[in-house]
Chain A
């Protein structure tokens, strides 16, 4: 469906070095894997020592030997350069050739890197206040208990310990496993009684159900509640009053100790970091939008990846997967030092008035400028969505394979092919609706006789002019078919497309055209039957209007 054009290629050099932000366990492992692929790595860590997250995770059941081996390899690698007590101070440039600044108290160092991996930290806060409790000798946070268990477990002998988890927040498998592991450790001590008050048992992680059963076998008692129990804390005496779900009566427990859950949230400095890197944050402020096209380590910007706690609260094993995936993406981007890029996407500096609309609307941070006047689209960073081309008030931008001239020809061809049936021009995002349409064709679903599909790289490329041109060329109906909100590879192409359809609809209304002649809908690539339904509905509408 695309015109076959000879793609003009040019070779650019990319820097064979990577910046890893964060020198915790995950940052070190990521650096190790990337260095193993032959790239040099710079680690920037704000703290004084590397691998410093280890203290807070004494009980997570990870293979300590494996962990130590990885850390030793990372620390011994000659390809890894470490900047500790260092703040990330900014980045400029484009994927393949970023300039980054690392600041210590004494000086700022500039480095050239091809890619950046954020090994973000999570923020861990005890939720004692939500339970109406103050932390003291009798009320510990989960982390405090883990430290006690690691350093001074015997002092917990003979205690009755009650855990509160998943009642002040939905909870997650990481917190759940910490409770299970702690319960197991306590059950090894003399005369410990363990009670767990829990909302939902979050066991959706490797081995957790089995570990849960082990804790029960060792005597841990669980109370699954729908709401928080009432807890009083007076003169060191703790009283928990809860509605027992089995005997259906209020029951009291007087434990020696209550352990409260912690919220594991996105790092405090994510916002600042995201701004410096021009990364979009997702739910809860994590360094990745909730977009399936970002699985597992990508961000909205090429060359910037996120691993471990930067993306969500996850176990170390999940972060280790991220490290390998980030290394794959790095080596795909940086290869062996040079890469071929298309020169087809162009910005006509003669037309450009330097309004920077394109800079602001580009979801991939692919546009920059030089000398306060010269706007440039970076060929590595650009994903070819064309949102900028459609938003540019000067029509100065042409997208490779989808130039305005090419699109004009395709719209003319699509609009001109007359059948007796209503002529429908469907602008289809190549990531979703185009695939769905081809699926409908492949499986011979019933499609309107007068349907013509016009491929766009992203619905964000659908210009108001395209919609109007399709009508001018003879279309009876026009469909703009985009990805579902939250599923756009370019984050907001579907939103732009929706706005343009609204604008066009206002214009159609002014000249007295029926609104049913223009429709916006969202689809996924695997929705062939829904594609068939949507286009057939439009055909039925158009026939009814005749």
Chain B
């Protein structure tokens, strides 16, 4: 049977869902893209460009261009602020949708005056992207003509691309996130950079002179039972640090780490530059204290002789890891698929990580485990390819 009349529902409009949607739409398959937030792009659309005097291959711009492809495709219907409530198999797959009131989280806090009054401060509400603009009316509400309104969808296959939940840094109390104003997460820093183009201290809005990144916050943590590397945080921290250093060569940047992970084929030369421009300390600081001027005093073990050292920073960035999506269990239960021991969705095997134990249900992106933007896009492409083959046989 031809795939022409076939329809696929994609749950999640982050870079995985966007990539899968674009690939399917290009092959003339109808896509229903269901996203619980008010905007498309997920976490990755909130990341800032990390170029120095040259591109660092972070992939953030690919999220923007993939989103553009999706909103311009006639084959894709976008359902925003929408959650899948139930799934029934009746030959096809029938999904009940509900217009949700998903937690808009931190984005809304910056948007007290409303979008129309202060678009720059409220850019986060629209994922910082102009490509989301078509989904809203002049008053700022979701536009019922440009977004899907169906309460039920009957589709031939489902791609679960519901992404990840960033590690809640408050769980590691010693880092004092949420207590000390100048302890931020990588995601906080990204949103700030995306909005303003620069890095400012939350406490006083001034550019910091001395900053530190702490790696593996929530990842590779035996005590938490999180036995995985989030794969994105080293590339993220190194690229961000080098990008900041490029704009302000006087900036003093320290990276606290366990093991540095690679960034791609150019890693050997890139890392050499990093070693020259940044300070690397192979230990994870234990305690943070408030110091004068809203600085943060940290205590850690010296690499040279194991003695305790104290150092102060203007800003401390926690490289929070990729955790299983908070609704993974609910989604897996609804779709009848299995979760692995770490809480990420389980693929069919080591070579095919996109098919599941349920025919017609496929995975894309970080719902199945930590991935960079590049790997997420490759994974979503594999998922789209498997869906097309499945539809042809179905």
Contacts and interface: CB of A to CB of B under 8 A. Distances in A.
A284 B227 CA distance: 32
Chain B interface bracket (under 10, 10 to 19, 20 to 34, 35 or more): 35 or more
Contact of B351 (A283, A320, A432): A320
A242 to B, nearest CB: 16
A318 B350 contact: no
Contacts of A473: none
B290 interface: no
B276 interface: no
12 contacts: A37-B388, A204-B234, A205-B229, A207-B228, A210-B228, A248-B305, A282-B265, A286-B265, A332-B27, A443-B119, A443-B130, A529-B196
A435 B282 CA distance: 40
A346 to B, nearest CB: 27
Interface string A414-447: 0000000000000000011001001101111100
Nearest to B258: A201
B377 A295 contact: yes
Given A328-B384, A431-B65, A526-B61, 20 more contacts: A33-B385, A172-B262, A201-B258, A201-B259, A202-B261, A203-B220, A203-B259, A290-B264, A317-B353, A321-B378, A321-B382, A324-B381, A324-B382, A327-B385, A328-B381, A331-B27, A442-B130, A483-B55, A487-B55, A487-B61
A295 B229 CA distance: 22
Contacts of B58: 292
A316 B351 contact: yes
Interface string A500-544: 000000000000000000000010111111100100000000000
Contacts of A435: 64-65, 68, 130
A315 B45 CA distance: 28
A468 B352 CA distance: 56
B326 to A, nearest CB: 21
A404 interface: no
A339 interface: no
Interface in A289-334: 290-293, 295-296, 312, 316-318, 320-322, 324-325, 327-328, 331-332
Interface in A325-364: 325, 327-328, 331-332
Contacts of B264: 283, 290, 312
- The secondary structure that dominates the B interface is loop
Given A204-B234, A209-B220, A295 B62 contact: yes
Nearest to B269: A283
Interface in A200-218: 200-210, 213
Interface of A: 33, 36-37, 61-63, 66-67, 70, 169-170, 172-173, 200-210, 213, 224, 226, 248, 282-284, 286, 290-293, 295-296, 312, 316-318, 320-322, 324-325, 327-328, 331-332, 431-432, 435, 438-439, 441-445, 483-487, 522, 524-530, 533
Most buried by B among A36, A204, A209: A204
Contacts of B348: 66
Contact of A204 (B61, B195, B196, B231): B231
Contact of B61 (A61, A283, A316, A524): A524
> Which 6 A-B residue pairings sit nearest by Cβ, starting from the closest?
A324-B385, A529-B197, A487-B55, A442-B130, A486-B55, A204-B261
